[in-house]
Structure 1
Amino acid sequence: MVISQISCPGGTVYTIIPGDTLFALAQRFNTTVQAILNANPGLDPNSLQVGRMICIPVAPGPGPCPGGFTYTIRAGDTFFSIARRFGTTVTALQAANPGVDPNRLQIGQQICVPARAPAPGPCPGGFLYTIRAGDTFFALASRFGVTVQALTSANPGVNPNNLQVGQQICIPAPAPTPSPGTCSGFIYIIRSGDTLFSLAQRFGTTVAAITAANPGINPNQLQVGQQVCIPG
């Protein structure tokens, strides 16, 4: 029975001619045999009828790809192999291609390969850490005894809300913590907006005295949550 009308939204209606095979059609229209079968329920790939109209689906195109580039799927491609080839991650590929099924990539389909995650800059006194699934700046700060603010300062250009598995970041050295036994005054916990000058004014001391009571402190990089000794 020859079908006279079919529904093929977003695709191409094609009429079978002698010699056609689904494999040849898939190559000609940059799609896959499975995609054609999915678009034509009941179609027998071993008994194509000359004159029958079938739907040739169109591989979905990528959306906007800011900072990256468009890549055309080839035979054997997987998100894992593409991620390794272009120095990105499977997670980043999935985020850049919503609606694309990684398990059903089609030859000729276009996807967005996002820009590489920014590499960390120098990490003096700290170490490089590779992001794993589930990591957040808050969790990392708690694990390594630093603050979220310190992590953010050590990784300019890194978006804490879009960490990528495999991305490397700098874990800075923990801020020096004064010992209560060596502090002749009292221990103060740094809050947002604090400076040594404002602390000196607030507690009736000097910047030089606070600096001397806290060897190794960096007055220009106070961290929220950091403990300092306010001398008596």
Structure 2
Amino acid sequence: MPYTIKAGDTFYRIAQTYGITVDALMQANPGVNPDRLFIGQVICIPTSGPTPPPTPGSCPTLRQGSRGADVVRLQQLLLGHGFNPGAIDGIFGPNTHSAVVAFQRSRGLTPDGIVGINTWTALGVNCSGGPTPGHCPAGTFAYTIRSGDTLYILAQRYRTTVDAIMRVNPGINPNNLQIGQVICIPQQ
């Protein structure tokens, strides 16, 4: 993927940001002298395809000043939803902040520019580590947690038991359900 050199960039810093080695970066840019980079120069960042979304259950809180692979994922997701974060560079700067605020406003979230579980979920990331819609076992259906939901209320609503819900959702914490979290509900 193309990357535009900015003030202070080095191959080492770029490699760290994208989780690659300096050698891989040098191989992807033959003829570029890493000791003579200049602002505005375009280099190639080697990738093995699109950066995957954060792993389930991994939705780090990001804010202006954050850096790294999770910021790259955030920037790609924002761009995919039609919000331009500027360069996909792994740096949560002013452009990424503006894109996050605009995205949050468009989804009715608090437009604070801080990317937490609600913003990740609105971007389509499964932060719960649980199932995604359409991936529940036979005899169950996917349900997205809403404000006020508890396993007891869901058990009452869907004529099942808290124990039955827990059995089909190993690993969920019934005392820490998150709005937007997807769980499976047994069908009766």
TM-score of the pair, normalised by structure 1:
0.32
Kindly indicate whether structure 1 or structure 2 has the higher relative contact order, using CA contacts under 8 Å at least 6 residues apart: 2
TM-score of the pair, normalised by structure 2:
0.38
Structure with the greater alpha carbon radius of gyration: 1
Larger strand share, 1 or 2: 1
